[in-house]
Amino acid sequence: MCGIVGYVGKRDAYPILMKGLHRLEYRGYDSAGVALINSTGNLLVYKAKGKVSALEEAVKDKDLKGSIGIAHTRWATHGEPNQRNAHPHYSETEQLAIIHNGIIENYATLKQGLKQQGYTFRSDTDTEVLVQLIEYLKVKDNLDLPTAVQLALNQVVGAYAIAVLDKSCPDLIVAARKSSPLVVGLGQDEYFLASDATPIVEYTDKVIYLDDGDIALLDRKKGVRIRTLSNIEKTPEIKRLELTLSQIEKGGYDHFMLKEIFEQPDMLRICMSGRVNVELNNVTIAGFIDNKERFVNAKRIIITACGTSWHAGLIAMYAIEEFAHIPVEVEYSSEFRYRKPVINEGDVVIAISQSGETADTLAAIELAKSKGAFIFGICNVVGASIPRTAHSGCYTHVGPEIGVASTKAFTAQVTVLTMLALMIGREKGTITEEKYLSIVSELSRVPENIRSILKQNDIIKEVASHFTKVNNFIYLGRGYNFPIANEGALKLKEISYIHAEGYPAAEMKHGPIALISEQMPVVVVAPRCGTYEKIISNIQEIKARKGKVIAVVTEGDVEVSKLADYTITIPETEECVTPILSVVPLQLLAYHIAVMKGCNVDQPRNLAKSVTVE
Ligand code: G6P
């Protein structure tokens, strides 16, 4: 949430900052702003309500010269999204400017104290309080900027990634992080700062991922130095970026979401490469092999995640319980962290997160860790906070996911979790060899099977065209495909703003059936598997009440197709693999409905890709 970019070097900062903000816009897009120190030493701040393009429009005729600057795209927490609350925020004397991602929880107390010292406030934000505090400490004790930032942060409770400019230090950006990501890019006599590596990738592949409690000094003349909140100098670990520029561009597609749906075959092949081996008849994930005793001896597995990643966790519950015979609990991270969960040493906690930065999931991990659980992280973004906090884990390796609605990351999470279930099952001897081999073979066929589903894009688009005017949708599924009903409904509501609910098909009788009428479209995920006969009865119940049925069925299906108004097919596969296929038509259905409704699918209102506040 909120995107941060910074640049200090020899080039004009403004174009670099704007390009960076566009890349980070997926993190929030309520308002945007930029601060530059120009050649005459003025600290200029420009901001605008709305997207980054609104800022660019607003500053067209302004002085944008300067080779040091910071910029921000906002997802509002404190204070409504308007120009006044947009970042950067000046300090009282306009000597300093700050951008911030996160929440300063004790801002009200700090604000009170600063008001008593005569400070006035122009915005409703917690962020302005921090910049005022930095200035207050700096002036009071005649401190340099890094020391003032350090002392101010020691008074702050909450989460932050910040960048600060000081008019009197035209070569220096001071940045710091706690529970919100920041990456520093190292160029030739130029330095970059960003919430993730996407704004940096075209300038350098050398980066430093800041740790919690790090303060970074990006100095045009002295290079980059890192110290801690307790003022101890650190030797930073320089990492090489794996990201490429083409991965973060649309590549001819209208939207990132469509690109990401269509690249699932290739990305899942990469995700499985070196892991699923049909010739050797096995599945390996290094993070599992190194810790297999933990899994094999686990009395219980707790899966914690948010949003779409939570749905992947639900599917894993079915697979792990079926093949590894270990009880699984799937928890929303936000609930888990605040109840009093019983966690025992020896419990295995699997944390799933595309971004690896979700604040609630990070907090859930910390809680479980403090109680002695072993944490296995499944993440997509390399070097993010969750993989660095977990004891072990694995990456999904599907490249950057930029569309706010998660697609390829989800299918990859389910793929990796299915592998994990197979590996535990084989180690424990709770899965038959025949079943294991059949699933390995079906996993290896996932890319070609998704490719064949994507060929129905036009059919799905046609189905979508019948539903652009409806206000509600129900999604039903059973067993492994019940979480897919939830996921399909989530996709639709996220990007088309149509109210949609996912339900286990049999539960329909206990409530949702009351909603069914000619006006109610019902998506039924009904591949041929264990509960097939049961779901046919559920469809009959819908048809008896004149509901419109859109069914996702197995190729060659006759029975459901006869009853449904529209059918979309998926290839036959092992039951535990069906969710990886059946979700794809639902991604496309949501996408086409949203596009036909004129919605911005990549940046839906009120949402952000990476939720770094709780
Ligand atoms: C946000 C995103 C979702 C994502 C969820 C969890 O709500 O819009 O797409 O599923 O966060 O994010 P994570 O990065 O932890 O998977």
Write the pLDDT tens digit of every residue in 476-525.
999 999 999 999 999 999 999 999 999 998 888 888 888 888 889 999 99
Q: What is the pLDDT of residue 211?
A: 92
Cβ(385) to ligand 1 under 6 A?
Answer: no
- CA 401–ligand 1 middle distance (angstroms): 11
CA distance 442 to 180: 39
Q: Tokens 């990886």 belong to which residue?
A: 580
Best residue for ligand 1 mutational test, from 610, 612, 613, 614 (most atoms within 8 Å of Cβ): 610
Query: What does the mean pLDDT of the chain come to?
Result: 93
- CA 178–ligand 1 middle distance (angstroms): 20
Angle at 464 between CA 462 and CA 468, to 5 degrees: 130
Q: What is the pLDDT of residue 279?
A: 83
Tell me the pTM.
0.82
**Could you check whether the bond before residue 88 is cis, i.e. omega within 30 degrees of 0?**
yes
What backbone phi and psi angles, to 5 degrees, belong to 553?
-125, 170
Inform me whether the pLDDT recorded for 411 exceeds 90.
yes
Which of these, 380, 217, 213, 241, lies nearest to 305 by C-alpha position?
Answer: 380
CA distance 21 to 31: 11
CB-CB contact of 217 with 172 (8 Å): yes
Mode of pairing for the β-strands spanning 301-305 and 328-332:
parallel
Q: What is the pLDDT of residue 248?
A: 84
Which of these, 403, 44, 383, 363, lies nearest to 194 by C-alpha position?
Answer: 383
Percent pLDDT > 90 in the chain is 79
Cβ(309) to ligand 1 under 6 A?
Answer: yes
Smallest CA separation from ligand 1 atom 13, residue: 353
Q: What is the pLDDT of residue 604?
A: 83
Which of these, 428, 423, 251, 357, lies nearest to 610 by C-alpha position?
Answer: 357
CB-CB contact of 201 with 13 (8 Å): no
Q: How many CB atoms lie within 10 A of CB 231?
A: 12
Over residues 310-360, the pLDDT tens digits come to: 999 999 999 999 999 999 999 999 999 888 889 988 899 999 999 999 999
Mean pLDDT of 287-315: 95
Best residue for ligand 1 mutational test, from 27, 257, 303, 308 (most atoms within 8 Å of Cβ): 308
Higher per-residue pLDDT: 243 or 204: 204
Cβ(334) to ligand 1 under 6 A?
Answer: no
Inform me whether the pLDDT recorded for 611 exceeds 80.
no
Smallest CA separation from ligand 1 atom 15, residue: 353
CA distances for 334 relative to 199, 304, 326, 330, angstroms: 30, 9, 24, 12
Over residues 154-196, the pLDDT tens digits come to: 999 988 999 999 999 999 999 999 988 899 999 999 999 999 9
Q: Please name the residue ranges forming H helices in 273-373.
A: 286-289, 292-296, 307-324, 333-336, 359-370
Q: What is the pLDDT of residue 86?
A: 92
State the closest ligand 1 atom to the C-alpha of 607, by its place in the atom list counted from 1: 8
Smallest CA separation from ligand 1 atom 5, residue: 307
Inform me whether the pLDDT recorded for 435 exceeds 90.
yes
Q: How much is the CA Rg of the chain, to the nearest whole Å?
A: 25
Q: What is the pLDDT of residue 519?
A: 86
CA distance 269 to 444: 8
Q: Would you call 568 helix, strand, or coil by DSSP?
A: strand
CA distance 460 to 177: 44
Which are the contacts of 260, defined by CB distance < 8 A and separation ≥ 6?
A: 401, 402, 403, 407, 408
Over residues 50-60, the pLDDT tens digits come to: 989 999 999 99
Smallest CA separation from ligand 1 atom 8, residue: 609
CA diameter of the chain: 80
Confidence category of residue 112, pLDDT binned at 50, 70, 90: very high
Over residues 439-458, the pLDDT tens digits come to: 999 999 999 999 999 999 99
Is position 394 annotated as part of the catalytic site? no
Q: What is the pLDDT of residue 243?
A: 81
Per the residue annotation, which of 2, 306, 379, 529 is the catalytic one? 2
CA distance 218 to 174: 6
Mode of pairing for the β-strands spanning 3-8 and 68-74:
antiparallel
Cβ(607) to ligand 1 under 6 A?
Answer: yes
Smallest CA separation from ligand 1 atom 7, residue: 307
Percent pLDDT > 70 in the chain is 99
Mean pLDDT of 529-557: 88
CB-CB contact of 426 with 419 (8 Å): no
Is position 609 annotated as part of the catalytic site? yes
Q: What is the pLDDT of residue 27?
A: 78
For residues 246-256, one letter each, b for 16 or more C-beta atoms within 10 angstroms of the residue's C-beta and e for the rest, the string is ebbeeeeeebb
Q: What is the pLDDT of residue 180?
A: 86
- CA 496–ligand 1 middle distance (angstroms): 17
Q: Please name the residue ranges forming H helices in 497-558.
A: 532-544
The string of DSSP letters for 496-510 reads H--EEEEEEGGGGGG
Best residue for ligand 1 mutational test, from 260, 355, 491 (most atoms within 8 Å of Cβ): 355
Cβ(396) to ligand 1 under 6 A?
Answer: no
CA distance 124 to 107: 11
Cβ(383) to ligand 1 under 6 A?
Answer: no
Q: What is the pLDDT of residue 538?
A: 87
Which are the contacts of 572, defined by CB distance < 8 A and separation ≥ 6?
A: 528, 554, 555, 556
CA distance 562 to 434: 34
Confidence category of residue 281, pLDDT binned at 50, 70, 90: confident
Cβ(609) to ligand 1 under 6 A?
Answer: yes
Mode of pairing for the β-strands spanning 566-570 and 548-554:
parallel
Mean pLDDT of 99-123: 94
Cβ(613) to ligand 1 under 6 A?
Answer: no
Higher per-residue pLDDT: 281 or 408: 408
Q: How many CB atoms lie within 10 A of CB 16?
A: 23
Best residue for ligand 1 mutational test, from 179, 401, 406 (most atoms within 8 Å of Cβ): 406
Smallest CA separation from ligand 1 atom 2, residue: 609
Report the Cα 27 to chain-centroid distance in Å: 9
CA distance 385 to 379: 10
Per the residue annotation, which of 47, 49, 548, 609 is the catalytic one? 609
Mean pLDDT of 470-479: 95
Q: Would you call 184 helix, strand, or coil by DSSP?
A: strand
Mode of pairing for the β-strands spanning 191-194 and 521-526:
unpaired
Q: What is the pLDDT of residue 368?
A: 94
Report the Cα 466 to chain-centroid distance in Å: 31
CB-CB contact of 226 with 383 (8 Å): no
Give the CA dihedral 274, 278, 284, 285, nearest 10 degrees: 50
**Mean pLDDT highest for which of 28-32, 66-70, 103-107?**
66-70
Over residues 195-225, the pLDDT tens digits come to: 999 999 999 999 999 999 999 999 999 999 9
CA distance 160 to 215: 11
- CA 357–ligand 1 middle distance (angstroms): 9
- CA 583–ligand 1 middle distance (angstroms): 16
